[in-house]
Amino acid sequence: MTELGLARLQFGVTTVYHFLFVPLTIGLSFLLAILETVYVKTQDPAYKKLVDFFGRLFLINFAVGVVTGILQEFQFGMNWSNYSRFVGDVFGAPLAVEALLAFFLESTFLGVWIFGWDRLSPRAHAWSMWLVAIGTSISAFWILVANSFMQEPVGYALRSGHAEMVNFFALLGNPQLWVEFPHVWLGSLATGAFFMTGVSAYYLVRGRHPELFDKTFRLGAVAALVASVLVFVVGHDQAQHLVTAQPMKIAASEALWHTSPERAPWTLVANIDTAHQRTTDAVQIPDLLSILAYNHTTGRVTGIDELQAQYVKRYGPGDYVPPVVPTFWSFRLMILAGTLMILAAAWAVWLIVEERHQRRPRFLKAMVWAIGLPYLAEIMGWIMTEVGRQPWVVFGLETTANGVSPTVSATEVWITLVGFGLLYGAMAVADVYLLLKYIRLGPDVGEPDEPRLEADLI
């Protein structure tokens, strides 16, 4: 592999790995804040015990997420120095605000929350978790300010071969940001909700502490349903924005080689032949692509070949077609996972209304495995977002090939890739071990250890 291919592989792997921890941190912090608020209002000790239990799991996830996030920063200087020089004046500002404002806010009040149980009033202690939750959301916002610039550059001027920020508030008003941030935040809430529901289902199916975990099962299921439905709604808005902002990404996500007919069908599955630029054996839903793009049954969607010709005229000679196969299938896997999330959460809420959820062991076991659905949706969504933007690292301004570091060899990237892989692998083992350990121990940490979690899911 070339230096460029290895640099892309390393950044993709480490970013996806880091993103396994971010959504749970955002979503679970808000659910913890709700639980503790209920405790303050009711003074029911059951809620305090639940906050303590899920708080331990939150802290494990938070700690590993921080470490994986730190390593992300090194890659900008190591493998992407040309990119850093080109966009640093714009990209650095939101990252600095994220570190100095949002991360300090969440980490400071997380410390207050950890050590303040016996030192603060219940109300003040609950507020500390709310500030942690707000801090995680602010942190995500500023990261997405930077990412949105890469997707749709605004508020800049090209001077001496660099992008320089001329309007900070234009970054905050970026149209891409205001469809991307709600989508990511709601997806994170769904991740925390499915995690809480799945862990609670694990206890309910075993008959352990049903008086406790019935409460979090209900809260998690309702939050999962609301968040999953809203993710679809906001995701629809984001896709419509891409029709005009990044039409090539939409065309690649549909494997649409030529401009569609007036009533454009949406392809469910297909065999994609990139060598001959054709799509065969397609299973299609009539008019759905036009509906997704324009909210009515008519409307053409521009194809890859036509967009390639337009981009050559606009940007000069080059291949502006992203990898079609991963963009196409990651989009469909994201939609599949999101659909399953809505169905699973709706099923859970229906059984809760009927007061039958505790009498359905197979359903409860399925909800444990459903913890993975939001992760699948988020990973596929990010792959579609970033791969579909290629060959641009900053859309319309700098290609990925021009952003890579010119002096870093393939051997050096291999060394760091293997090093990061070993470090991340060790952290993954530690993270899973600790999560399973404290899940098995339950809300009463002193009780004897239980059999392995996996044995009850077979």
DSSP characters over 194-236: HHHHHHHHHHHHHTSSHHHHHHHHHHHHHHHHHHHHHHHHHHH
Boundaries of domain holding 317: 247-322
Dihedral of the alpha carbons of 275, 277, 281, 285, in degrees to the nearest 10: 150
187 closest CA partner among 352, 431, 376: 376
**Cα separation of the two ends of the chain:** 41
Of 294, 322, 350, which closes a domain? 322
Cα-based angle 249, 251, 257 (whole degrees, multiple of 5): 140
Please report the pLDDT score of residue 454 as a whole number: 41
Is 106 in the same domain as 180? yes
Is 153 in the same domain as 98? yes
Cα-based angle 396, 402, 408 (whole degrees, multiple of 5): 155
- Measured distance CA(360)–CA(358) in Å, rounded: 6
Is 266 in the same domain as 377? no
Predicted structure pTM score: 0.92
Is 251 in the same domain as 237? no
Is 375 in the same domain as 279? no
Please, are residues 260 and 233 in contact by the beta-carbon 8 Å criterion? Answer: no
For the chain, how many structural domains are there in total? 2
Please report the pLDDT score of residue 449 as a whole number: 41
Is 122 in the same domain as 171? yes
Of 275, 302, 322, which closes a domain? 322
Is 170 in the same domain as 84? yes
Please, are residues 162 and 44 in contact by the beta-carbon 8 Å criterion? Answer: no
Please report the pLDDT score of residue 246 as a whole number: 94
Of 270, 292, 322, which closes a domain? 322
Is 15 in the same domain as 136? yes
Is 311 in the same domain as 402? no
Is 14 in the same domain as 113? yes
Is 205 in the same domain as 259? no
Per-residue pLDDT of the chain (458 residues; tens, 9 = 90+): 788 888 898 888 888 888 888 899 999 999 999 999 999 999 999 999 999 999 999 999 998 888 887 777 777 778 888 998 899 889 888 888 888 888 888 889 999 999 988 889 999 999 999 999 999 999 999 999 999 999 999 999 998 888 999 999 999 999 999 999 999 999 999 999 999 999 999 999 998 899 999 999 999 999 999 999 999 999 999 999 999 999 999 999 999 999 999 999 999 999 998 888 888 888 999 999 999 999 889 899 999 999 999 999 999 999 999 999 999 999 999 999 999 999 999 999 999 999 998 889 999 999 999 999 999 999 999 999 999 999 999 999 999 999 998 888 889 889 988 888 888 888 888 888 999 999 988 887 544 344 444 444 44
Please, are residues 343 and 337 in contact by the beta-carbon 8 Å criterion? Answer: no
Give strand ranges (E) for 116-225: 156-159, 162-165
Is 199 in the same domain as 68? yes
